């Protein structure tokens, strides 16, 4: 299996459209893993951007809430406010009955 490399130009800014990234890349990550590949997701610090994508992928794959998925990540993460909102919206898209952000 070869190497697939994706560069996603995304700033750690609450106004960035990370929801579009979730929709596009979670299925790609899933396909890579199902075909026996491995996936490395990273950003500058691994706290907000890459962590948010990893949480979104776990939601996609496991059908669980953002908080449940965050509890499966064994390092400190802190998605910014906009990314947390996007995780909440992604839960709605995936039909996960849970709200990450307080109403």
Tens of pLDDT along the chain (103 residues)? 667 888 999 999 999 999 999 999 999 999 999 999 999 999 998 899 999 999 999 999 999 999 999 888 889 999 999 999 999 999 999 988 655 544 4
If we measure between CA atoms, which residue out of 98, 97, 85 comes closest to residue 18? 85
What is the C-alpha to C-alpha distance for residues 48 and 23, in angstroms, rounded to an integer? Answer: 17
What is the C-alpha to C-alpha distance for residues 90 and 84, in angstroms, rounded to an integer? Answer: 10
The residue written with tokens 């691994």 in the block is: 46
Which tokens go with 24?
């596009």
Which tokens go with 19?
């929801």
Which tokens go with 25?
């890349």
**CATH 3.40.640.10, domain 18-29+41-93, yes or no:** no
Domain map of the chain by residue range? Answer: 18-29+41-93
Q: What residues are labeled active site?
A: 43
């Amino acid at each position: 299996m070869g190497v697939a490399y994706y560069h996603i130009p995304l700033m750690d800014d609450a106004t960035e459209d990370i929801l579009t990234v979730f929709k596009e890349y979670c299925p790609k990550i899933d396909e890579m893993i199902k075909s026996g590949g491995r996936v490395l997701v990273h950003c500058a610090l691994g706290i907000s951007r890459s962590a948010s994508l990893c949480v979104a992928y776990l939601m996609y794959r496991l059908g669980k809430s953002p908080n449940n998925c965050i509890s499966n990540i064994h390092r400190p993460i802190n998605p910014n406010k906009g990314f947390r909102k996007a995780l909440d919206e992604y839960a709605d898209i995936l039909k996960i009955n849970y709200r990450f952000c307080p109403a």
